[in-house]
A and B are shown apart, each in its own frame.
Chain A
């Protein structure tokens, strides 16, 4: 398999087209995840554009029933098929072994299995799209999800299977980090991206089984009428909410932690400076993972929880802000007196800092009990989590994709185009979602196909913003695809970064390194050379 090409060949060119489908190479599996999840992102994104179009002038485009299906699929696709898998399974898969100086993940075959499980689960969900759709929202709240005449069983089974895929990925990464680090690669010399991936993996392993069995119970409710969540049969629908959010709130940190990890890398590299507070950032990832398990009840402040539980969940939720703020402050301190280079990855990282801070702080509004009663289920919540998920995770993802693009494919993306699309997305994002905070405060409820006439202006503004985002992404996909074939050849280390993945060829060879590197210092020793 590896005659003649050692040293010259790379993971992309080895073997024919069909060899991709049975590959055990973590880099190829990562690339397959990347393109699959980006494809789902395009589908989910088109749904979002359609939702905004309908809300530009309600009642002209879709029936309310179709609208319900649109936002259900927008949410379910974006969450389960894009934002949860993309950073860990695509970028994590590709870079985790490279960054610890390993040849592969601990269980390559399990890794491929996990990819096919993901595809299988996604196909189930897509099948639902073509067999009547689903109109429950991505949360599948009982008892409506037990009665809805739509294809709930297919989608929930899809979620179950994709959850399995997520568990296996997390498990694989945890074992890899524990057992496959290169000589000298101590935990405290690991790049912060890996601390984030590790914290994410903990949540994937500990939280996902709960949603797995919960959606399976929804299937059982519909097939066998077990009645756990069905008030008609003596069950309790709020119990479903507990189980659902016991996963789905930590899942928010499955989404955001890897994004934070990317920001730690990018901010350092493009400031040419050692990261400020390495240990604090590393352990704050674990702290966020830990606290994430204790806050699910804040989704149920108005579901009839006891006042004591509400109080506890409110306080615990606010505690998440502490490790999060530690990160933000340390990144900002890293920028201080750095030699900042404003290339596209850094622009996205700065967008992250700006937007995620807004997203995080508005989260505190919602954690405050009295305020939440007013804002619950309004567009304020929609704006808040889009600032966190899109302003945070997606900005982090885009920073990562641009930062690592030359390593993954050996070619540079066009810099000016990158900046233009970053500008369009940043602008469009704020135009779309800032008005939604205001609309939410005025009391516009989420998930309705129609709204009071007094909300018209800001909804129109919001819709116009979505066109800018759309244009930005269209431009990005165009130049990224172009760069795969025509982009300028990238050197092994175009950014002059210190982490291990840059110490091998671009694109990397099949087994990553000529010989396993020996690690003698931390990952961010910028400027140290001069003083020595």
Chain B
């Protein structure tokens, strides 16, 4: 059951390393399906309330900072690219580049969360908060607080996922640095990559749905 070091041994209940890798990958994909369903509920709530109050969604979304949102989108897209590169390089025994790419990916996560922090503090300052705590003065639509509930729930849940992803990236980066991965075994890098792409993908949906309502 040893998972350390380059001489990674196949767990006893698998016949081959290939079988172990395929199982891990299938497991990860199934996990991502559950993640999509988890977010799916929030998307459902979004669809329902937007269908009911389209004009409110438009007005409320004007309170979001599009520049910050767009920057974050770009940052995550770049991070997805560097993550893919990291997986690729780790598989080709290019440890130095792989670690570098993981470091950039992690740094992108830091930028994303920093920008998110400034967005959140600004909203909190203005009183654009979840329904029951909403205290913004110039409300143009009585249902507007619901939009900010959605905003905080969706981006909050996504933000938690970003943090988890950053933790995973840090972990595989350290292991990669120690030479744990190569062409024979790179499952954790690959799985972290798949996860990170999903987190990125969810943001790709969140950004237009929350920030760009025309």
Binding site for B on A (CB under 8 A): 24, 97, 102-110, 167, 171-172, 174-176, 178-180, 205-210, 212-214, 217, 220, 224-228, 230, 233-236, 239, 243, 511
B149 touches A228 (CB 8 A): yes
Q: A176-B23, A209-B40, A210-B40 are in contact. List 17 more A-B contacts (CB 8 A).
A: A24-B1, A103-B12, A104-B12, A104-B13, A178-B26, A205-B30, A205-B33, A209-B35, A210-B41, A213-B38, A213-B157, A214-B41, A226-B153, A227-B130, A227-B146, A234-B146, A239-B45
Q: How far is the CA of A167 from the CA of B37 in the complex (A)?
A: 12
B145 touches A227 (CB 8 A): yes
Which residues of the partner chain B approach A102 to less than 8 Å between Cβ atoms? 13
When A and B form their complex, which 4 residue pairs have the shortest distance between CB atoms, in order from nearest? A225-B132, A227-B131, A226-B149, A103-B13
B37 touches A234 (CB 8 A): no
Which residues of the partner chain B approach A171 to less than 8 Å between Cβ atoms? 27, 30-31, 34
Binding site for A on B (CB under 8 A): 1, 11-14, 19, 22-24, 26-27, 30-31, 33-35, 37-42, 44-45, 48, 130-133, 142-143, 145-146, 149-150, 152-153, 157
A226 touches B130 (CB 8 A): yes
Q: How far is the CA of A171 from the CA of B130 in the complex (A)?
A: 34
B34 touches A224 (CB 8 A): no
Which residues of the partner chain A approach B131 to less than 8 Å between Cβ atoms? 225-227, 230, 233-235
Across the two chains, which residue of chain B brings its CB closest to A206? B37
**Which of B23, B38, B44 lies in contact with A179, CB distance below 8 A?**
B23
B132 to chain A, nearest CB (A): 2
B27 touches A107 (CB 8 A): yes
**Which of A175, A207, A213 lies in contact with B27, CB distance below 8 A?**
A175
Which residues of the partner chain A approach B30 to less than 8 Å between Cβ atoms? 171, 174-175, 205
Which residues of the partner chain B approach A179 to less than 8 Å between Cβ atoms? 19, 22-23, 26
A243 touches B130 (CB 8 A): no
Could you pull out 13 A-B pairs where Cβ atoms are within 8 angstroms?
A: A104-B13, A106-B23, A107-B23, A167-B34, A171-B31, A209-B41, A210-B37, A212-B38, A213-B38, A213-B157, A226-B152, A228-B146, A234-B146
**Which of B27, B38, B41 lies in contact with A172, CB distance below 8 A?**
B27
A220 touches B153 (CB 8 A): yes
B152 touches A108 (CB 8 A): no
A225 touches B33 (CB 8 A): no
Q: How far is the CA of A521 from the CA of B11 in the complex (A)?
A: 29
Q: How far is the CA of A227 from the CA of B130 in the complex (A)?
A: 8
Which residues of the partner chain A approach B150 to less than 8 Å between Cβ atoms? 228
Secondary structure call for the B interface: helix
A243-B132 CB under 8 A given contacts A175-B27, A175-B30: no
Q: How far is the CA of A206 from the CA of B29 in the complex (A)?
A: 12
A162 to chain B, nearest CB (A): 15
Q: How far is the CA of A171 from the CA of B42 in the complex (A)?
A: 23
Q: How far is the CA of A228 from the CA of B14 in the complex (A)?
A: 46
Q: How far is the CA of A176 from the CA of B45 in the complex (A)?
A: 35
Q: How far is the CA of A228 from the CA of B154 in the complex (A)?
A: 13
Which residues of the partner chain A approach B42 to less than 8 Å between Cβ atoms? 213
A55 to chain B, nearest CB (A): 37
B60 to chain A, nearest CB (A): 13
Across the two chains, which residue of chain B brings its CB closest to A208? B34
Across the two chains, which residue of chain B brings its CB closest to A226? B149
A175-B149 CB under 8 A given contacts A103-B12, A243-B41: no
- Which of B12, B39, B150 lies at the interface centre, i.e. has the most chain A CB atoms within 10 A of its CB? B12
B76 to chain A, nearest CB (A): 22
A213 touches B41 (CB 8 A): yes
Q: How far is the CA of A214 from the CA of B40 in the complex (A)?
A: 11
A511-B149 CB under 8 A given contacts A214-B41, A225-B132, A233-B132: no
A206-B33 CB under 8 A given contacts A108-B13, A234-B146: yes
B181 to chain A, nearest CB (A): 19
A118 to chain B, nearest CB (A): 17
Across the two chains, which residue of chain A brings its CB closest to B33? A205
Which residues of the partner chain B approach A207 to less than 8 Å between Cβ atoms? 37
Q: How far is the CA of A205 from the CA of B28 in the complex (A)?
A: 12
Q: How far is the CA of A233 from the CA of B41 in the complex (A)?
A: 19
Across the two chains, which residue of chain B brings its CB closest to A183? B15
B111 to chain A, nearest CB (A): 26
Q: How far is the CA of A180 from the CA of B131 in the complex (A)?
A: 49
A228-B45 CB under 8 A given contacts A107-B27, A178-B26, A209-B37: yes
Which residues of the partner chain A approach B1 to less than 8 Å between Cβ atoms? 24, 109
Q: How far is the CA of A236 from the CA of B44 in the complex (A)?
A: 13
Q: How far is the CA of A109 from the CA of B1 in the complex (A)?
A: 10
B136 to chain A, nearest CB (A): 15
**Which of B11, B41, B149 lies in contact with A227, CB distance below 8 A?**
B149
Q: How far is the CA of A227 from the CA of B13 in the complex (A)?
A: 49
Which residues of the partner chain A approach B38 to less than 8 Å between Cβ atoms? 209-210, 212-213
B206 to chain A, nearest CB (A): 15
- Which of B13, B19, B27, B146 lies at the interface centre, i.e. has the most chain A CB atoms within 10 A of its CB? B13
